C-alpha cells in the first residue's frame, strides 16, 4: 500500500508539469495580451507598454514560465490584476463559503441518491420504477437557471422561508440560513442524474451470479441488497463521486452568483470578466492538483470498500 501511494505521488509530478505547460501556453499564446484589456479603450502605446512591464508579460516566455513554476511551488501567485488583493488571500477567503454549500450538498445528494437507487431496485420493472425514471428524465431536461429562479420566487420571495441573497460571518448562520436554499436547489438538480446512474449500477449487480447464489442460500433480500449488492455497486459509485468532486467548486458558480455567496465559483466568473489571469491560473492549477489527488483517494477507497481490489 505504501509503495503504491509513493509511486502514485511520483507520477503526479510529470502530470502536473504537463498541466502547468498547457495552462501557460493557453494563457500566454491563446489568451491574448492582458495589457490591452487593463489599459481600456482610451490608451496609448506608452501606457500599454508600462502595464506590460508592471505585469511582467514583457519578459521572454521562458522567463515567464520560470516565474509561473516558482509561483506554483511557493503557492504565491502574486496579486490580483484588478483588485490588487493577494491571490492566496482570495482563495483562502472564498474557499470557506464554497465548502459550506458543497460539503453538505455532496453528502446529502450521495446518501439520498444511493438510498433511492436501492429502493427503486426493489421494485424494478414496476410502474413505480418507470414513474421515477420519467420524473428523473424531466428533471434532467430542466435548466438549473429555472430551478434557481422558481425556488427564489416561491420559497424566498413569496413564502419568505429563506433569504434571497446574502452571506454572514458565522458558520451556523451561513449553513442553516443563507446556504439552505442553495443546498436544496443543488439537491433537486443533482439527485435526478445520480439516481439514474446509481440505479443502473445496482441493477447490473442484481443480475450477477453471486446474487442468485445468495438467494438460493436463503439470505434475505435486505441483506443481499444492503450488504452484497451495495458493496459491489459502490465501486462505480465512488468513481463517479470522486471524479466530480474537484469540478464542484467551479460548477457551483451559478448558485454562488445568484445567491451572492462569496465562493470560488463566483470568483471565477469575476476573474474571467476582469481578465484577471493570476486568479484564473491559480484556480486552474489547484483544481488540476485536486483532481489528481481525488483519483488517488478513489483508488484507496476502492481497497477500503472491497479488500479484493489489488492496487498495482
Which pLDDT score, from 0 to 100, does residue 35 have? 62
At residue 244, the pLDDT reads 75
Say what the pLDDT of residue 58 is: 66
Entry pTM = 0.78
Quote the pLDDT of residue 168.
80
Residue 52 confidence (pLDDT): 67
Gap between the Cα atoms of 97 and 262, Å rounded: 6
Instruction: Please tell me the predicted confidence (pLDDT) of residue 75.
Output: 81
pLDDT of 45 reads 66
- Domains of the chain, CATH where assigned: 2-74 (no CATH), 87-305 (1.10.3720.10)
d(CA 113, CA 39): 50
Instruction: Report the pLDDT value the prediction gives residue 262, as an integer from 0 to 100.
Output: 85
pLDDT at position 101 is 86
C-alpha cell at 112: 439520498
Q: Which contacts (CB < 8 Å, 24+ apart) does range 261-269 have?
A: 261/97, 261/98, 261/101, 261/167, 261/178, 261/179, 261/182, 262/93, 262/94, 262/97, 262/167, 263/94, 263/95, 263/97, 263/98, 263/101, 264/91, 264/94, 264/95, 264/98, 265/98, 266/94, 267/90, 267/94
Q: Is the separation of the CB atoms in 95 and 287 below 8 Å? A: no
pLDDT at 310: 64
For residue 102, the model assigns a pLDDT of 86
Predicted confidence at residue 308, as pLDDT, reads 67
The answer to whether residues 52 and 35 touch, using CB atoms and an 8 Å cutoff, is yes
Q: Cell triple for residue 227?
A: 450488504
Q: Which distant-in-sequence residues (6+ apart) come within 8 Å of 128 by Cβ?
A: 120
Percent of the chain that is helix, strand, coil (3-state, to 5) = 80, 0, 20
- Specify whether the CB–CB gap between 201 and 141 falls below 8 A: no
By the 8 A CB rule, do 97 and 174 touch?
yes
C-alpha–C-alpha distance, residues 308 and 312, integer Å = 12
pLDDT of residue 57: 65
| C-alpha separations of 301 from 101, 194, 232 in Å | 24, 19, 13
Q: What is the pLDDT along the chain (312 residues), one digit of tens a residue?
A: 677 777 777 878 888 888 888 887 777 666 556 666 665 555 666 666 676 666 666 677 777 788 788 888 888 887 787 777 888 888 888 888 888 888 888 889 889 988 888 888 888 778 888 898 888 888 888 888 888 888 888 888 888 888 888 788 888 888 888 888 989 988 888 888 888 888 888 888 887 888 888 888 888 877 888 878 888 888 888 888 887 777 666 657 778 888 888 888 888 888 877 777 788 888 888 888 888 888 888 777 777 776 666 666
CB 145, CB 255: distance < 8 Å:
no
Contact partners, residue 205, CB within 8 Å, separation at least 6? 211, 228, 229, 232, 233
Amino acid at each position: 500500500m505504501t509503495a503504491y501511494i509513493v509511486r502514485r505521488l511520483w507520477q503526479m509530478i510529470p502530470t502536473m508539469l504537463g498541466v502547468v505547460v498547457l495552462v501557460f501556453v493557453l494563457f500566454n499564446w491563446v489568451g491574448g495580451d492582458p495589457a490591452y484589456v487593463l489599459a481600456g479603450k482610451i490608451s496609448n502605446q506608452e501606457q500599454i507598454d508600462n502595464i506590460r512591464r508592471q505585469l511582467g508579460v514583457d519578459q521572454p516566455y521562458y522567463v515567464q514560465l520560470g516565474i509561473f513554476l516558482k509561483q506554483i511551488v511557493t503557492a504565491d501567485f502574486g496579486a490580483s490584476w484588478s483588485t490588487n488583493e493577494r491571490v492566496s488571500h482570495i482563495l483562502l477567503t472564498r474557499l470557506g463559503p464554497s465548502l459550506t454549500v458543497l460539503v453538505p450538498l455532496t453528502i446529502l445528494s450521495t446518501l439520498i441518491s444511493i438510498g433511492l437507487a436501492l429502493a427503486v431496485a426493489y421494485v424494478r420493472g414496476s410502474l413505480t420504477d418507470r414513474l421515477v425514471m420519467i420524473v428523473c428524465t424531466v428533471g434532467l431536461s430542466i435548466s438549473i437557471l429555472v430551478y434557481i429562479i422558481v425556488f427564489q420566487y416561491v420559497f424566498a420571495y413569496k413564502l419568505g422561508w429563506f433569504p434571497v441573497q446574502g452571506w454572514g460571518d458565522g458558520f451556523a448562520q451561513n449553513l442553516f440560513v443563507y446556504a439552505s436554499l442553495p443546498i436544496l436547489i443543488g439537491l433537486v438538480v443533482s439527485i435526478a442524474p445520480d439516481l439514474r446512474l446509481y440505479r443502473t449500477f445496482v441493477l447490473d449487480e442484481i443480475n450477477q451470479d453471486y446474487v442468485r447464489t445468495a438467494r438460493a442460500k436463503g439470505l434475505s433480500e435486505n441483506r443481499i441488497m444492503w450488504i452484497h449488492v451495495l458493496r459491489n455497486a459502490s465501486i462505480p459509485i465512488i468513481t463517479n463521486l470522486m471524479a466530480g468532486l474537484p469540478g464542484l467548486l467551479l460548477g457551483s458558480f451559478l448558485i454562488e452568483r445568484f445567491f451572492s455567496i462569496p465562493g470560488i465559483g463566483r470568483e471565477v466568473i469575476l476573474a474571467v470578466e476582469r481578465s484577471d489571469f493570476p486568479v484564473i491560473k491559480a484556480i486552474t492549477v489547484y483544481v488540476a492538483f485536486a483532481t489528481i489527488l481525488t483519483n488517488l483517494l478513489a483508488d484507496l477507497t476502492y481497497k477500503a470498500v472491497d479488500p479484493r481490489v489489488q492496487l498495482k
